[in-house]
A = this chain, B = another copy of it.
Amino acid sequence: MDIGTIGGLVLGLGLIFWGIIMGGVGVGAYIDPPSIVIVIGGTLAASFVAIPMSQMLSIGKVIGKATSNGADDAGEIIQKIIEIANIARREGLLALEEAVANIEDDFLKKGVMLIVDGTDPELVKAILETEISYIGDRHSSGKKMFDTMGSLAPAFGMIGTLIGLVAMLQNLSDPNAIGPSMAVAMLTTFYGSLLANLIFIPIANKLSSRSTEELLVKEIMVEGLLSIQAGENPRIIEEKLKAFLSPAIRKSLVSEEAGTGAE
């Protein structure tokens, strides 16, 4: 579970709640069911027009990614790859068939199996890169879905406010009703802004960061797999892959290769 996403949402809603209480007119003044229905319903309705159904149905999975712990640790993946490289060097590429069982990541597993099958290196590269590019496209449609909702929510907030203002302006006879009517009209704008700026837009940003991390790990895998297939020295592979890491992570990485090299 990603503490940032959940904690941020809870903290944000808590602060808004606290701010409302500080306002002194009670929480009830900020809750208007029809307004909630118009903003959430309108945003959803326009989203169904904007976004293909298949993608709308995957929204749970996309939210899951935004609230999960992010991609595998790049350092661990590099150690795993160097381990595989050492096996390949000592026992040959065919020996990797057994090693596949210990690989959890589907993408890495697929790559190793392609190598074991003796697939042409060009084809291995083409297949894995097509897959990476497809994964990138899938990620960016997830992000785009939340970006779209993040721009629709304030728009339907404003549409709701316009409906309320027209109603109020048509009915100015009772001066005492003007204030509360206008307050209610403003609630849809409030809901729309809150949905967009606490939920939709931040989640779109988090998805974008997650995608960058995940694609980096996948690129490290491809780089490593191609080096293993080319029979490169595990030490050089390690050097190449570590260039993808930040200096801080790099230092914490215990050289697996150095260890096995001592055998």
Contacts and interface: CB of A to CB of B under 8 A. Distances in A.
B4 A22 contact: no
A16 B246 CA distance: 40
Given A4-B51, A53-B4, A212-B137, A46 B179 contact: no
Contacts of A88: none
Contacts of A127: 239-240, 243
B159 A190 contact: yes
A172 B130 CA distance: 63
A49 B186 contact: no
Given A19-B38, A42-B16, A49-B199, A183 B165 contact: yes
Nearest to A10: B45
Contact of A23 (B44, B163, B193, B212): B163
Contacts of A18: 34, 37-38
Interface in A1-45: 2-5, 7-9, 11-12, 15-16, 18-20, 22-25, 29-30, 34, 37-38, 41-42, 44-45
Interface string A129-168: 0110010011001001000100110011011101111110
Dominant secondary structure of chain A at its interface with chain B: helix
Given A163-B16, A202-B50, A25 B197 contact: no
> In this complex, which of A8, A38, A45, A246 has the most chain B Cβ atoms within 10 angstroms of its Cβ?
A45
A247 interface: yes
Count this chain's copies in the assembly: 5
Contacts of A180: 169-170
A162 B186 contact: yes
A187 interface: yes
A123 B246 contact: no
Interface in A91-117: 106
A156 B20 contact: no
Given A38-B15, A41-B15, A243-B131, A166 B46 contact: no
Interface stretch (A75-83, A203-211, A254-262): A203-211
Top 8 nearest A-B pairs (CB, nearest first) are A8-B48, A12-B45, A23-B167, A50-B202, A49-B202, A8-B49, A169-B183, A50-B205
